[in-house]
Amino acid sequence: MSEISNKFVVVTITNEDAKVWATGTEKGSKPEKIHVPERHKHLHIKNGPNDHLNKHEDTLTLKFYEEIAESISAASEILLIGHGTGKASSMVHFVQYLERKHPDLGKKIVDALDENLNAMTEPQILALARNWFDHRLV
């Protein structure tokens, strides 16, 4: 993990992985990749309102979120980028996790953008982050 104290950090999050750009948003910057534990990647089908993910799956998700939180804990500002809406949005679930478990870190989130990450390359994500940052300074 690189030194990110007092830095602007970009995080993309999906139901399969997270990418953390802690070294800047310049062209060619490479992210730290954090993957969801393998057993969490299969599709969950709910049959009714009282069906829940099993405790093992919940634990794997919490471990994934905690690993991301640890990776960005020293950042001064965090831009989240995710996709999906409602219950399908890993970004929304992660924000809720931070609000409950790491409220000080949650307060560092300056924006959360909903983008189609599956259709974007890493250079496009960085360009989006740079554009967001440039317009914020205006």
Q: What is the pLDDT of residue 23?
A: 79
* Residue 39 domain boundaries: 8-137
* pTM of the entire predicted model: 0.81
* 36-81 pLDDT, tens digit each: 887 544 455 444 444 455 565 678 889 999 999 999 999 999 999 9
Q: Within a domain: residue 70?
A: yes
Q: What is the pLDDT of residue 125?
A: 96
Q: Within a domain: residue 1?
A: no
Give the Cα separation of 96 and 90 in Å (integer). Answer: 10
Residue labelled with tokens 């870190």: 105
Q: For the domain that residue 62 is a member of, what is the CATH number? A: 3.30.420.60
* 102-134 pLDDT, tens digit each: 999 999 999 999 999 999 999 999 999 999 988
- The amino acid at residue 134 is D
Note the Cα 58 to chain centre separation in Å: 17
86: left (phi over 0), alpha (psi -120 to 50) or beta: left
Q: Which two tokens mark 7?
A: 């830095």
Whether 14 shows a pLDDT value over 70: the answer reads yes
Q: Within a domain: residue 35?
A: yes
Q: Within a domain: residue 104?
A: yes
Q: Within a domain: residue 97?
A: yes
Residue labelled with tokens 């992985």: 17
What is the number of structural domains in the chain?
A: 1
